[in-house]
């Protein structure tokens, strides 16, 4: 008897949740204007969020190689991240889903709750080697929906010359007090401290989460004393001139541009800025975001999950599973994550990445401490919580409310 499900009933709340869950965070992939094709019998459809990769790219060649290995013909369609999520939902409603769907990790739980995706128990995708903290982003209701193809996250870039001029040894930065002490020295040396993104969108929540989680706070209690300590840290940095007021409107891109000026000691940003860092014209380093009392704070994971949508024609699953297994093999994960500037989701491939490029070591450490935004079984609750969190950050940093009052209001609204 076939263990795969036939078409599931879709939930009415899915479109609403998707609207917030897919707003830009870790990795932007540009715009795609391709239209999805139907699932004709002999061709298997792969949808991905990488319109920047054309037919001659390493990614497209990998898809072709896996198709050959699976004995299949494929049609690849690339979409913008948010567009892809909505297209996937619409296709499921029309019983016209892609065979292999690669989506931003916060969207997985929303699509799963909507009945769009098969579970790994059903589709037999092997996730045994995947780091548990990364796999959690694709889990909902005790079930796993797909497997990560790679991850990126946030850490602190630092300008070596600025720190040297200020007399700061980066090894001394181990927790919040020592980081703030470093910022004070940088200010006295006539340089600028730290820049980040606190904009009133998912990007703002994404950048605040390492500090929020680094305090020990949980997303189910936005108004806890620990959460207040995290927002107070950011508020105090602005008050003391350690961070610019521009953070309130900064995206991760504009925040990076500030750091690239060469005047700032630190910038919170992601793996996707590595190529830009090499072009910055000054020596830089990377350290994980510290926790309040030391150790590495959990930063949110970016990156995509490979999933297998529900099909009414269950005979298609066997080939889809072959395609998925090929794409997530050890060597292919290494090649893919190198192309995407991602940290691999397995320890085996992470070790290969660090062996090839020692500069990736702090990023591997950051990813190992990272956490999915929808983890802790938050699933489709996360978008609403996140919206209230970024509103609280905006309110506190602008001076409209104290950190405590802003987070108290956020918790009431999130409930």
Establish if 59 belongs to a structural domain.
Answer: yes
Distance between CA atoms of residues 63 and 46, nearest Å = 9
Is residue 219 assigned to a domain? yes
Question: What backbone torsions phi and psi does residue 126 show, to the nearest 5 degrees?
Answer: -85, 115
Q: What share of the chain is helix, strand, coil (3-state, %, to 5)?
A: 50, 15, 35
If asked whether residues 365 and 403 sit together in one domain, one would say: no
Q: What average pLDDT does the structure give for the chain?
A: 89
SS3 144: strand
State which residues form the domain around 355: 14-152+301-369
Instruction: Indicate whether 126 and 270 sit together in one domain.
Output: no
Statement to judge: residues 100 and 203 lie in one domain? no
| CA 7 centroid distance within chain | 29
Render 242-304 in DSSP notation, one character per residue.
SS-GGGGT--HHHHHHHHHTT-EEEEEEEGGGHHHHHTSSS-EEEEPPBPTTSSBPPPBPB-E
pLDDT-based confidence at residue 25 (cuts at 50, 70, 90): very low
Of 5-19, 61-75, 335-349, minimum mean pLDDT range: 5-19
Arithmetic mean of pLDDT, 7-36: 43
Backbone angles phi, psi at 323, to 5 degrees: -60, -45
Query: From CA 302, how far away is CA 366, in angstroms rounded?
Result: 12
2 domain residue, yes or no: no
Give Cα separations from 209 to 134, 230, 238, 286 (angstroms): 16, 9, 18, 18
Partners of 332 in the β-ladder: none
- Based on the fold, state whether residues 194 and 61 are members of the same structural domain: no
State the average pLDDT over residues 71-96. 91
Binned at pLDDT 50, 70 and 90, residue 141 comes out as confident
**Is pLDDT of 415 > 80?**
yes
| Statement to judge: residues 80 and 64 lie in one domain | yes
Residue 243 and residue 110 share a domain? no
- Examine the domain organization and report whether 82 and 98 are in the same domain: yes
Do residues 290 and 315 both lie within one domain?
Answer: no
Q: Is residue 7 part of a domain?
A: no
Same domain, 27 and 117: yes
Question: What's the structural domain count of the chain?
Answer: 2
Q: Is the residue at 1 inside a domain?
A: no
Same domain membership, residue 331 and residue 311: yes
Same domain, yes or no: 389 and 340: no
Task: Check which CATH number belongs to the domain holding 272 and give it.
Answer: 3.40.190.10
Mean pLDDT of 312-334: 94
Residue 8 located in a structural domain: no
């Amino acid at each position: 008897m076939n263990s795969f499900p036939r078409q599931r009933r879709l939930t009415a709340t899915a479109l609403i949740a998707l609207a917030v869950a897919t707003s830009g965070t870790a990795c932007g992939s540009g715009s795609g204007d391709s239209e999805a094709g139907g699932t004709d019998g002999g061709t298997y459809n792969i949808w991905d969020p990488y319109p920047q990769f054309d037919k001659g790219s390493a990614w497209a060649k990998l898809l072709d190689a896996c198709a050959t290995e699976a004995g299949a013909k494929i049609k690849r369609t690339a979409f913008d991240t948010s567009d892809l999520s909505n297209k996937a939902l619409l296709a499921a409603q029309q019983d016209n889903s892609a065979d292999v769907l690669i989506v931003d990790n916060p969207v997985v739980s929303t699509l799963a709750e909507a009945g769009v995706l098969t579970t790994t128990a059903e589709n037999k995708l092997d996730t045994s080697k995947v780091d548990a903290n990364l796999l959690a982003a694709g889990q909902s209701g005790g079930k796993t929906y797909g497997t990560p193809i790679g991850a990126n996250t946030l850490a602190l870039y630092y300008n070596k010359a600025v720190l040297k001029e200020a007399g700061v040894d980066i090894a001394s930065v181990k927790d919040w007090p020592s980081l703030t002490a470093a910022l004070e020295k940088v200010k006295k040396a006539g340089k600028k401290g730290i820049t980040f993104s606190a904009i009133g969108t998912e990007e703002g929540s994404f950048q605040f989460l390492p500090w929020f989680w680094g305090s020990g706070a949980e997303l189910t209690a936005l108004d806890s004393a620990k959460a207040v300590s995290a927002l107070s840290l950011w508020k105090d940095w602005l008050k003391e001139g350690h961070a610019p007021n521009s953070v309130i409107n900064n995206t991760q891109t504009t925040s990076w541009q500030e750091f690239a000026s060469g005047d700032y000691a630190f910038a919170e940003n992601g793996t996707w800025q590595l190529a830009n860092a090499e072009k910055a014209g000054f020596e830089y380093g990377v350290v994980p975001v510290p926790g309040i009392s030391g150790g590495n704070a959990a930063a949110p994971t970016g990156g995509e999950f490979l999933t297998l949508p529900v099909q009414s024609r269950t005979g298609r699953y066997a080939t889809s599973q072959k395609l998925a297994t090929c794409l997530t093999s050890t060597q292919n994960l290494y090649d893919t994550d190198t192309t995407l500037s991602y940290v691999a989701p397995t320890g085996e491939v992470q070790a290969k990445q660090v062996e090839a490029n020692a500069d990736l070591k702090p990023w591997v450490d950051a990813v190992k401490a990272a956490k999915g935004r929808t983890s802790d079984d938050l699933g489709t609750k996360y978008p609403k919580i996140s919206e209230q969190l970024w509103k609280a950050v905006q309110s506190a940093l602008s001076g409209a409310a104290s950190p405590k009052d802003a987070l108290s209001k956020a918790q009431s609204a999130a409930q």
